[in-house]
Amino acid sequence: MSDSRANILKWFVIGLFVVLGLRLFQIQIVDRSYRRAAENNVLRYEVQHPPRGEIYDRNGEFLAQSVASYDLMVVPRNIPKDRGFDTVALARIAGVSVEQLTRSLQAAKNYSHSRASVVVRQLTTEAKLLFDEGSFDGFYTLFRTQRSYPRKIAGNLLGYIGQVNDKIISRNPYYSRGDYIGYSGIESAYEDILRGEKGEKVSVVDVRGTVKGPYQDGIYDRAPVAGTPITTTIDAPLQQFAEELMEGKVGSIIAIEPSTGEILVMVSSPTYDPDELMGRDRGNNYVKMLDNPRQPLFNRAVMSSYPPGSTFKLVNGLIGLQEGVVTPNRRYPCEQGYHVGRGVKCHEHRSPLNLKEATANSCNAYFCYVFRDILDNPTRGGVMKGGYDNWAKYVRSFGFGEKLGSDFASERGGFVPTSEFYDDYYPRWNSLTVISMAIGQGELGCSPLQMANLAATIANRGYYYIPHVVKHIEGRDSLDSRFYERHYTMVEEKHYEPIIDGMWGTVHRDIGTAGVAYVKGLDICGKTGTAQNPHGKDHSTFLAFAPKDNPQIAISVYVENGGFGSSVAAPIASLLIEQYINGEVTRPELAQYIKDMKIAYPNYEKRK
Amino acid sequence: MRSANDKLGWARIDWKTILLFVLLVFIGWLNIYAAVYNEATAGSFELSSKYGMQLIWIGISTIAAIVILLIDDIYYHQLAYPAYALMFIVLVMTLFIGKEVNGAKSWLVLGPVSVQPAEFMKVATALALARFASEYDFSLSKIKGLVGVGLILLLPMAVILIQNDMGSALVYCSFFLMLFREGLNPWVYYAIFLVVGLFVGSFLLSPTSLLILLILLFVVSQLLGNHNPKESAIYLASVGFLSMFIYGVSWLAGGAMDYYGALLIASLVMVVVALVYAYRRKLSNIYLFVIMFVCSLLFLGAVDYVFNEVLQIHQQKRILDLLGLESDLKGWGYNVHQSKIAIGSGGLFGKGFLDGTQTKYDFIPEQSTDFIFCTVGEEWGFVGSVVVLALFALLIVRLMKMGERQQEPFRRVYCYGVAGIFLFHTIINVGMTIGLMPVIGIPLPMFSYGGSSLLAFTILFFIAVRLDSQNSSIDTVYKPY
């Protein structure tokens, strides 16, 4: 009995050890997942952030620069428990208050004891060097880059960058927590090019996350690829001048090089110092801007929809010529207005005028006749049966009513109503119902970009290139092909000359509305606009190009509640054209007068 | 023949087994060195470090081993009860003047060193049990014997449990090995394995498969005793057909019953058949199996009820984790998870001495103590682990053989007691590191860092060797115990 029991026990013992051996065989030989888990345990994949691509103006001047900046990181576990660290010294170096430092340290601890968190963002290089001199166990700095704007201009144009949010992370696998992304303007439109390629450093760490050295001498490390610099079409000095001229006014300026579609100037006023949306005060400044009733973050140049006002008479004149309902020499009378139906008033001027004179003089009555003839044209079936749609088609061919397709993601298309739109409103309607559009009022809405594009189209005598803001991306031979395509309007080249003559007259003839824009030898052609609006005083707008032959610049200036086109918008356009072509301004007192002009906006202040 | 100048019997000392023991101590120390090794301190030898301290304890243990071999074995017999009483008093004192470490108040501070009385209590208990079981009228089939053994085991267990050191208390279960050898009723073991198996099975298996297994188990068990393969096969087939029939009927009647219910009813009906069969053939053991079967079903129901209705959620989780069904990697499952990673990543030949990444960079908590086997697994791989396990197995089997060759029950019982303690520690500790056993904090003999444990195992082992070397079977000298 006992012998057999001893035997049973012996085999029982051996059996137990065999079970252990089989289990070891399973986890050490058969199952490979433990090997992977061990690698994940000891390897730390650390992101290396590339410097963001720089942004230049058309002449190679910096608009946005990337400067070194360091995030102060902490792994709470690695702070020596016995000694702690000198809180006061660290706060001084990082340039924050002790309370702030303590607070973010607590936040880091709450997040994780063993993982790294940012304590203080955007340390300067000097602060980083000071930090390196001290000994702060548990803390380290992480190289990042920060935007810096030497001229502090073009806030809305350049856009701003900020940390990615959860939504972006979930949609785009490239981004992870703490990365930056362009949120508007060029930063957003060219994000893929500017951001570069993140690198990775693989290090061996112990359980406390202390780095013990590179993994396999760094053969798995990937260096970050710096973001690609972009040369924009912006003329920095001109942009700065334009922003100065717009100070105290709400509105927008866009200047385009007609022969290429390159945007020389894009101002949305009020603008802001782009540096304010960088750095540690970003949050506060951002909220302040959001609270500002004049909405500095709203890029009026591409996002707003204004009534074009009298500048739109150019379009109606061109369509009339193409449709054959008007000839350059056709004269119409004006008895201080067009008195059919509700009627349209006009200012005091001699009558009758021909097309050129009516353009230069901005006669409302003349364009009412033209507009009605276009719409009621019996060969097109009259206004309800195709006349209106025919007109709207023409208008769209000028780039109105739809997005132009520029490189601004936030671009909006304005509004050109369809005949269905009116059918919904009126059981019966005719050309008198929509007569306001003869003079660019009524339901029409267009962005300053579209108005500048109209100036460029007329300067080109019938076609435009999609306006764009990027001239050259380093390492690429060309831009997107859409920026090299000519977009022809439905109006033939020959019909532009009478209108252009009229625009020349606006500035050069005594009958013209904008003699103030005259600059000797520049042959500026322009068109004033005084747009009625429900928000108060008329908007002042001016659309121009120069010189008349071989135009170098086309411009649209829109000043909200600025009054007559000739009072604010025309001088601004004139000064900018002069500055651009001649490189200097001969009327400093005019420039100063405009700069000092502050327009009251009771409407915006009320809105708050 | 004992020569005059070999009064202590050193000539018959089992040097081979001692060599095994020393080899394990040496390998254990190497692994402690690896566990605390890191590049920063490489090259310098620190006596105050863990491997240095362990070296000192190895020295102390060596002295203790020599002293033990110098003491005549009669004293061990005589001192068994006094030693037990003394250690028990120390154990109780620890409750009051002890130091608390990791929640267990099980340490006594003696000047510069801390010792764990529970470790030495094992030696005293092994001796006391040996003494008790070697008394001439001792029998495990008598109430007196059972109560005596129970008392000797339960007293220290209770005190250690009060100290809140469950691992050390469970070690006293290891004496079941010795008790089996000394003739404890095998039904006790059958019942223990059945209860443990049912408990684990109730979580790992579906009720239906568990029930099928139970039926098979009991039928095959009685088959081994009654040699009735034909009847057994018919019985099993009947249960099967009956269950199918019930299932089919219920399905036709609207399908309210699942197969488990059908099988349960079928098996309970067939229990009656089994009882009738047993009565006619006068096979009394079948009654016992039927009782065990019914008890098993009741036990399963009770486990279900207690788990779902009585236990708190955190207690449920702990049980599920223990069975490997759920893992709380952040909490207490973390150690086992990291330990499995370290051992699993060792592969066939391991990463090499001092080259284990998990070991070197401290991923496994308590690696030099309870989780020392991770170092073996990671740095020496499958081959090294199997060699170490084989050495342990060999040592334990040799200890049991040592017991078998003793003429006197005292020596045999003691040797088996020691073998059981070594076995329990090794299986539970290694099983824990590879996720086969629950996390019970008991050291791996000779490997885990810690002076008390090393010294206690040394004393345990060398007393066995000492007793063996004076085995009276060869010279039949009468020893008046």
Q: What is the pLDDT of residue B388?
A: 96
> Does residue A228 share a domain with residue A281?
no
Mean pLDDT for the stretch of residues A394-407 = 84
Q: State which residues form the domain around A273.
A: 236-605
Q: Are residues A517 and A452 in the same domain?
A: yes
Same domain for A112 and A158?
yes
Instruction: Say yes or no for a CB contact (<8 Å) between B400 and A10.
Output: yes
User: Is residue A22 included in any domain, yes or no?
Assistant: no
The verdict on A30 touching B (C-beta cutoff 8 Å) is no
Q: What is the mean pLDDT of residues A198-220?
A: 71
Q: Which of A7, A20, A32 to mutate to test the interface with B (most CBs of B within 10 A)?
A: A20
C-beta atoms of B386 and A24 within 8 A: yes
Considering only the beta carbons, identify the residue of B181, B362, B385 that sits closest to A9: B181
Question: Going edge to edge, which strands form the sheet with A553-559?
Answer: A262-269, A251-257, A553-559, A536-546, A525-533
Residues of chain A with Cβ-Cβ distance to B382 below 8 Å are: 24-25, 28-29
Are the beta carbons of A218 and A248 closer than 8 angstroms?
no
Mean pLDDT of A212-233: 78
Count contacts between A and B (CB, < 8 Å): 111
Query: Chain B contact for A22, CB < 8 A?
Result: no
Write out pLDDT tens, residues A249-280.
888 899 999 888 888 888 888 877 777 777 66
Sheet holding A43-48, edge to edge: A43-48, A199-205, A211-214
Asked if A218 and A252 sit in the same domain, the reply is no
Asked whether residue A216 carries a pLDDT value surpassing 70, the answer given is no
Same domain, A175 and A259: no
- The confidence score (pLDDT) of residue A209 equals 59
CATH number at residue A122: 3.90.1310.10
Residue A279: the pLDDT is 67
Return the structure tokens found at B331. Answer: 């909490």
Contact (CB, 8 A) for B323 and B316: no
Mean pLDDT of chain B, nearest integer: 85
End-to-end CA distance of chain A: 101
pLDDT, position A277: 73
For residue A361, tell me if it sits in a domain.
yes
The residue with greater pLDDT, A213 or B369, is B369
Distance from CA of B393 to the nearest CA of A (A): 7
**How would you class A292 by CB atoms within 10 Å of its CB: exposed for 0-12, middle for 13-18, buried for 19 or more?**
middle
Report how far residue B363's alpha carbon sits from residue A17's, in angstroms, rounded to the nearest whole number: 27
Give the one of A16, A28, A207 whose C-beta lies nearest to B344's C-beta.
Answer: A28
Same domain? A423 vs A352: yes
By CA distance, what is A29's nearest residue in B? B347
- The region, left, alpha or beta by phi > 0 then psi within -120 to 50, assigned to residue A9 is alpha
Structure tokens at A144: 């990042």
Which residue of chain A is at minimal alpha-carbon distance from B391? A17
Question: B183–A5: do the CB atoms touch at under 8 Å?
Answer: yes
CA A153, A155, A156, A158 dihedral sign is: positive
- B338, B396, B431: residue with CB nearest A20: B431
Domain annotation covers residue A548: yes
Please say whether the beta carbons of A149 and A175 come within 8 A: no
Structure tokens at B274: 């089994």
The neighbouring-strand residues paired with A525 are A545
Minimal Cβ distance to B389: which of A2, A5, A17: A17
pLDDT of res. A411: 80
A268/A408 same-domain check = yes
Q: Could you say which of A214, A232, A250 is where a domain stops?
A: A232
- The reply to whether residue A37 touches residue B344, judged by beta carbons under 8 angstroms, is yes
The CA distance from B186 to the nearest CA of chain A, in Å, is 10
Q: State pTM to two decimals.
A: 0.56
What is the mean predicted confidence (pLDDT) over A598-602? 76
DSSP state letter for A557? E
Highest mean pLDDT among B196-205, B332-341, B360-369: B196-205
Strands A487-488 and A463-464: antiparallel
Highest mean pLDDT among A190-194, A518-522, B318-322, B340-344: B340-344
**A111 interfaces chain B, CB cutoff of 8 Å:** no
Residue A465: closest CA among A477, A455, A453: A453
pLDDT at A299: 80
Residue type, B348: L
Q: Does A211 share its domain with A240?
A: no
A476 at the B interface (CB within 8 A)?
A: no
Q: Kindly report whether the peptide bond that precedes residue A547 is cis, defined as omega within 30 degrees of 0.
A: yes
Span B75-90, average pLDDT: 93
Do A284 and A401 share a structural domain?
Answer: yes
Instruction: Confirm or reject contact between A11 and chain B (CB < 8 A).
Output: no
Nearest-CA distance B127 → chain A (Å): 20
A364 has a pLDDT exceeding 70? yes
What does DSSP say about strands A139-148 and A117-123: parallel, antiparallel, or unpaired?
unpaired
Residue A14 contacts B, CB cutoff 8 Å: yes
Of the pLDDT bands very low, low, confident and very high (cuts 50, 70, 90), residue B477 is very low
> Which residues of chain B make contact with A211, given a CB cutoff of 8 A?
none
Burial B48-62 (b: 16+ CB within 10 A, else e): ebbbebbbebbeebe
pLDDT tens profile A146-181: 787 877 778 777 878 777 777 777 777 778 767 788
Domain for residue A37, yes or no? no
Residues A288 and A222 in one domain: no
The most confident of A267-276, A489-498, B363-372, B446-455, by mean pLDDT: B446-455
Mean pLDDT on B85-92? 94
Chain B closest-CA separation from residue A35 CA (Å): 4
Q: Quick check: is A15 in a domain?
A: no
Distances (CA, A) of A583 to A237, A245, A332, A575, B370: 10, 16, 42, 10, 83
Domain boundary among A198, A214, A232: A232
Is A543 in contact with A499 (CB distance < 8 Å)?
no
Q: What's the average model confidence in pLDDT over B297-308?
A: 87
pLDDT digits (tens, 9 = 90+) for B411-427: 999 999 999 999 999 99
Residue A204 and residue B346: Cβ atoms within 8 Å?
Answer: no
A179, A202, A232 - which closes a domain:
A232
- Does some domain include residue A27? no
In this structure, what CATH number is given to the domain that contains residue A241?
A: 3.40.710.10
Chain B nearest CA to A26, separation (Å): 8
Distance of CA B164 to the CA centre of its chain: 19
Q: Quick one: A441 and A383 in the same domain?
A: yes
**pLDDT value of position B58:** 94
The Cα B220–Cα A176 span in angstroms is 62
Question: What percentage of chain A has pLDDT greater than the value 70?
Answer: 94
> Is ipTM beyond 0.90?
no
8 Å CB contact between A447 and A438: no
Mean pLDDT across B52-59? 91
The C-alpha atoms of residue A273 and residue A153 are separated, in whole angstroms, by 6
Residue B335 has pLDDT above 70, yes or no: yes
Choose the weakest-confidence range: A485-494, B151-160, B467-476: B467-476
Overall number of domains in chain A = 2
**B382/A29 Cβ within 8 A:** yes
> B391 with B451: CB under 8 angstroms?
no
Question: What secondary structure does DSSP assign to B299-331, as a single string?
Answer: HHHHHHHIIIIIS-HHHHHHHHHHTTSS--TTT
Q: How far apart are the first and last CA of chain B?
A: 20
The DSSP code sequence of A420-485 is HHHHHH-SS--TTTTGGGGGT-TT-BB-HHHHHHHHHHHHTTSEEPPPBSEEEETT-S---GGGG-
Domain map (residue ranges) of chain B:
4-180+383-469, 205-311
For residues A220 and A115, membership in a common domain is answered with yes
Residue A540 lies in a domain: yes
CA distance A235 to A255: 10
Task: Please say if the pLDDT value at position B480 is more than 70.
Answer: no
A384 is a domain residue: yes
For chain B, say whether A115 makes contact (Cβ under 8 Å).
no
Which H/E stretch holds residue B182?
none
Provide the sign of the torsion angle of the four alpha carbons B398, B401, B406, B411, taken in this order: positive
Interchain CB distance below 8 Å, A20 and B381: no
Check residue B345 and give its pLDDT: 87
